[in-house]
Amino acid sequence: MTAALDPSFGRAKNFIVYDLQTQDFTLISNTQNLNAAQGAGIQAAQTIAKAGAAALITGHCGPKAFRVLEAAGVKVYNTDVPTIAEALARYKAGELTEANAANVEGHWV
């Protein structure tokens, strides 16, 4: 929980899925994606959707991943806080604003 929040979504090493009710969390690996030539964000977004998450907190989320998350009904919140615990605290306090568009351009444009 005190671990650093990776600023990029698609190529982050792991995702933490946190259950707000039980306060349990599980770690999902994103390593198969780190070296993907293209579509890393799309893959990562599917991983999040499959995990059943209703919201994603991340540093930067590209346009393609955003479209997938949007279609899957996952809300996206951007933050630049350094740790996961802090990001979560801010989310719970309602201090994060929902992103309504991708906040970084794709890489192949």
Partner 1 sequence: MILAVASGKGGTGKTSISVNLARVLDAPIQLLDCDVEEPNAHLFLTAAPSSEEEITIGVPKIDAERCNACNKCVEFCQFNALASVGKAPMLFPELCHGCGGCMLVCPNNAIREERYRIGSVTTRQAGLITLKSGCLDVGVSLASTLVHAVKERRNPSTTAILDAPPGTACPAVATLRGADFAVLVTEPTPFGLNDLKLAVDTVRELKLAFGVVINRAGIGDDRVRHYCEAEGIPLLLELPDDRRIAEAYSRGELIVDALPEYRSHFERLWQAIDNESTKQRGMPYRAGVAR
Are 42 and 33 a contacting pair, CB within 8 Å? no
Applying CB under 8 A, among 40, 48, 61, 84 the residue interacting with partner 1 is 40
Query: Judged by CB under 8 A, does residue 42 bind partner 1?
Result: yes
Q: Least CB distance from residue 44 to partner 1, whole Å?
A: 10
Query: Judged by CB under 8 A, does residue 103 bind partner 1?
Result: no
Cα separation, 67 vs 35, whole angstroms: 21
Q: What is the DSSP string of 41-96?
A: HHHHHHHHHHTT-SEEEESB--HHHHHHHHHTT-EEEE---SBHHHHHHHHHTT-S
Query: Judged by CB under 8 A, does residue 35 bind partner 1?
Result: no
Q: Are strands 75-78 and 25-29 parallel, antiparallel or unpaired?
A: unpaired
Measured over the CA atoms of residue 73, residue 97, residue 64 and residue 80, the dihedral's sign is: negative
Query: Judged by CB under 8 A, does residue 50 bind partner 1?
Result: yes
Query: Judged by CB under 8 A, does residue 72 bind partner 1?
Result: yes
Region binding partner 1 by CB under 8 A among candidate stretches 14-22, 23-31, 45-53, 96-104:
45-53
Query: Judged by CB under 8 A, does residue 34 bind partner 1?
Result: no
Q: Which residues bind partner 1 (CB under 8 A)?
A: 36, 38-40, 42-43, 45-46, 49-50, 64, 67-68, 71-73, 106, 108-109
